């Protein structure tokens, strides 16, 4: 049989606790690419496949060595010719049955990418306006998830970090070297993501945040780093935090814009600007090395 060419140790059926059989010994993962102008990238599934002829997203079984993101990217590369490096993940949903799970990674891709059916599992790979999706015969599991997927599909997570307040909430000697402490915080944030949704009160399971670190006073001079944009306040750090929150929401009103600070007055101002304050402890929870 020539159809199963990218075989790996995750290929196989699981008799799940839910009473159904699912594909993927270590669970499965798929990629939902979204584009504000083109809609979502769907796969018309080959007739010989499970639920053949329906529409879903590129995806398949995870290998034991892969994260769900890696599996989703590999499957999208195999089935739809999407180069993994062109994909920017936003968030992920996990349908967890205990004995088996399915992760849907929602992402955007470089506009230059030309997706196409690139293996026999796809009859076609088509950008589909979101309003048309529910009119298609959908893969049942994808159809069940579609309303919640759509609700968050075009939203991103922006974390605006009040550096002075967050650094000051951890008694690690920061007062001897504010810039050094701020640089350590920036480095912790560089290694961040994906972050779990629940501690931040967000829907879905995981988010890949855009991080903005607002610095002020003697902590200025810390440069931006991979994945962390540093904004130096001209004057008040609080004003700068509120400005960054307001600006983010002006550009993309649906985004989750969270400001990390324990300062009560600033928290109120962030809320007035349409953002949501979270405490530094939530951030420390996220930046703690995995156990
Ligand atoms: Zn199940």
Q: What is the mean pLDDT, run by run of 10 residues, along the chain of 291 residues?
A: 65 92 95 96 90 93 96 95 95 96 96 87 93 96 96 97 94 89 94 89 96 93 94 95 98 96 97 97 78 46
Encode 208-231: b = buried (16+ Cβ within 10 Å), e = exposed.
Answer: bbbbbbbbbeebbebeeeeebebb
Domain range for 22 is: 13-152
* Residue pair 193/209 in contact by the 8 Å Cβ criterion: yes
Residue-wise pLDDT for 3-28, tens only, equals: 445 689 999 999 999 999 999 999 99
Do 108 and 233 share a domain, yes or no? no
Do 194 and 259 share a domain, yes or no? yes
Query: How many angstroms separate the alpha carbon of residue 32 from the centre of ligand 1?
Result: 21
Query: How many angstroms separate the alpha carbon of residue 22 from the centre of ligand 1?
Result: 7
pLDDT of the residue at 3: 46
Residue 241 CA neighbour count, 13 Å, CB half: 32
- Domains in the chain: how many in total? 2
Last residue of a domain, one of 105, 135, 152: 152
Is 1 contained in some domain? no
Query: How many angstroms separate the alpha carbon of residue 96 from the centre of ligand 1?
Result: 8
Query: How many angstroms separate the alpha carbon of residue 144 from the centre of ligand 1?
Result: 14
pLDDT of the residue at 220: 87
Cα 69 from Cα 29, distance rounded (Å): 7
Query: How many angstroms separate the alpha carbon of residue 87 from the centre of ligand 1?
Result: 28
Do 63 and 131 share a domain, yes or no? yes
Query: How many angstroms separate the alpha carbon of residue 145 from the centre of ligand 1?
Result: 14
pLDDT of the residue at 111: 84
Do 201 and 70 share a domain, yes or no? no
pLDDT of the residue at 289: 58
pLDDT of the residue at 5: 53
Cα 154 from Cα 172, distance rounded (Å): 39
- Local structure of 44: helix, strand or coil: strand
**Any idea what the CATH number is for the domain that residue 280 is in?**
3.40.50
Do 133 and 181 share a domain, yes or no? no
Query: How many angstroms separate the alpha carbon of residue 98 from the centre of ligand 1?
Result: 8
pTM above 0.85? yes
Angle at 281 between CA 275 and CA 282, to 5 degrees: 50
Q: Is the peptide bond before 194 cis (omega within 30 degrees of 0)?
A: yes
Query: How many angstroms separate the alpha carbon of residue 117 from the centre of ligand 1?
Result: 28
Residue-wise pLDDT for 234-246, tens only, equals: 999 999 999 999 9
Encode 156-188: b = buried (16+ Cβ within 10 Å), e = exposed.
Answer: bbbbbbbbbbbbbbeeeebeeebbebbbbbbeb
Do 68 and 133 share a domain, yes or no? yes
User: What is the share, in percent, of the chain residues with pLDDT greater than 70?
Assistant: 97
* Residue pair 157/209 in contact by the 8 Å Cβ criterion: yes
**Any idea what the CATH number is for the domain that residue 74 is in?**
3.90.79.10
Do 265 and 283 share a domain, yes or no? yes
pLDDT of the residue at 2: 39
Cα 28 from Cα 59, distance rounded (Å): 7
The CA distances from residue 61 to 24, 243, 291, in Å, are 4, 44, 26
């Amino acid at each position: 049989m020539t159809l199963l060419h990218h075989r790996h140790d995750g290929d196989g059926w699981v008799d799940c606790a839910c009473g159904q059989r699912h594909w993927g010994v270590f669970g499965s993962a798929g990629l939902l690419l979204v584009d504000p102008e083109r809609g979502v990238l769907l796969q018309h599934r080959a007739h010989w496949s499970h639920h053949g002829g329906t529409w879903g997203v590129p995806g398949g079984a995870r290998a034991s060595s892969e994260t769900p993101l890696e599996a989703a990217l590999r499957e999208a590369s195999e089935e739809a010719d999407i180069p993994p490096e062109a994909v920017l993940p936003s968030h992920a949903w996990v349908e967890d049955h205990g004995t088996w799970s399915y992760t849907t990674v929602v992402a955007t891709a470089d506009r230059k990418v030309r997706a196409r059916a690139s293996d026999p599992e796809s009859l076609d790979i088509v950008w589909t306006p979101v309003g048309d999706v529910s009119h298609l015969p959908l893969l049942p599991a994808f159809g069940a998830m579609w309303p919640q997927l759509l609700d968050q599909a075009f939203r991103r997570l922006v974390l605006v970090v009040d550096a002075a307040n967050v650094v000051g909430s951890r008694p690690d000697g920061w007062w001897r070297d504010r810039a050094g402490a701020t640089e350590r915080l920036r480095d912790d944030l560089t290694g961040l993501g994906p972050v779990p949704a629940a501690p931040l009160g967000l829907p879905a399971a995981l988010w890949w945040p855009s991080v903005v670190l607002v610095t002020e006073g003697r902590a200025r001079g810390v440069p931006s780093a991979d994945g962390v944009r540093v904004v130096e306040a001209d004057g008040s750090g609080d004003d700068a935090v509120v400005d960054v929150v307001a600006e983010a929401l002006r550009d993309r009103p649906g985004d989750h814009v969270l400001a990390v600070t324990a300062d009560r007055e600033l928290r109120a101002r962030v809320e007035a600007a349409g953002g949501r304050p979270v405490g530094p402890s939530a951030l420390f929870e996220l930046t703690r090395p995995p156990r």
